[in-house]
Structure 1
Amino acid sequence: MSLKSWYEANVMPRLITCACSQGQVMKRRSAVVPLARCDVFELGCGGGINHEFYDPAAITSYSGIDPHEGLLDSARAAARDKGWTADLRQARGEAIPFADASFDCAVCTFTLCSVDDPAQVMAEMRRILRPGGQLLFLEHGRAPDRDVERWQERIEPVWKPLAGGCHLTRPIGSALIGAGFAVDQLGEGYTPKAPRFAGWMEWGVARKLQ
């Protein structure tokens, strides 16, 4: 196994899980994930970080995908601890292995930054949502301030291989609107105590247009 493969299999998932479960990040999750209702799908469910915020009484079924099998093991364990029967599969967001109009709600937290083709992933999430379904999102991405954005552009080529393909410069709300969602922004801003180049977040509800 090459050093790169070893890093991606053993180190990178732990680093990402740690970074994505810091206090301020978890505070943002707690504002978004409890809104999930009925038949729920989670994109990038590996690690099971969001499980503590789901309201079991509001959820009929829970499914999800993640490309990393090791992280899926943690997600399955978290589902068992919650008493859920969960359908969690190893897959990528560009080809979600569920039928059209399968879900009332999709949850996407800190995932669109690292997918290969965000437009295709968003199209797939529209496909699996029922008419009027909603996508709950919490993502970091392109900052609105040009000085921060310039630093994001400089740092991104070095950042991506260290952070599992994470992009710093991808737009969030505007990309969802372009993908055919109506976006209700619940909040946006820089994460306290985080480097500004990696700290811009947007979160809200994106509704599937008919």
Structure 2
Amino acid sequence: MTAAIAAGRMLPVVVLEDAAAATPLADALVAGGLRSVEVTFRTAAAADAIRAMSTNPDLLVGAGTVLSPAQVDQAAEAGAKFVLSPGFSPSVVKRCQELGLPVFPGVATATEIQMALDAGLEIVKFFPAEQLGGIPMIKALAAPFRSVRFIPTGGVNTGNLADYLAVPSVFAVGGTWMVAPDLLRAGRWDEVTALTAAAVAAARPAPEA
């Protein structure tokens, strides 16, 4: 599962108000070249959206903004294959581990990274990335925590994602620009596909001279 995320190196962070948009959104992301997505529990439509998007055989669907063990259960029942949270919650991590769901908790400090390591986790979400210091902060945290890999989310876009992905400790990046709420509300699926394809292209390593 983690290999699939690592291969694409990007996680679109989706906030869906209407689960009816889930299936065309899944198709648009796959058409743009992405194979994994994070659907956030910021709306009442989250579980239904995860359920619908999970029917696409080419897409690995995870649940984001998971704040409680009850939401872990909802995500798992809907078919989510992994879980992310904005901060480190021992109860969320414990429930995910009980269910065998990969979990990437959010961290902002060295203390939270140590908590993740204590829980047996080495891939964490770094959120909100730009506001916390961006690439210099990730490099500073990676120095003492050499086994930890980061998923920076928050302020990442096509202009800086290649710089983030060039950092060895960055596992993947999370972003919203290719799934902006106005695009989803208007059903502008061609734009979603085009933005996704541009992000996939920007994430590719530069060819060696």
- TM-score, normalised with respect to structure 2: 0.35
Kindly indicate which of the two structures has a greater share of residues assigned to strand: 1
Structure with the greater relative contact order (CA < 8 A, sep ≥ 6): 1 or 2?
A: 2
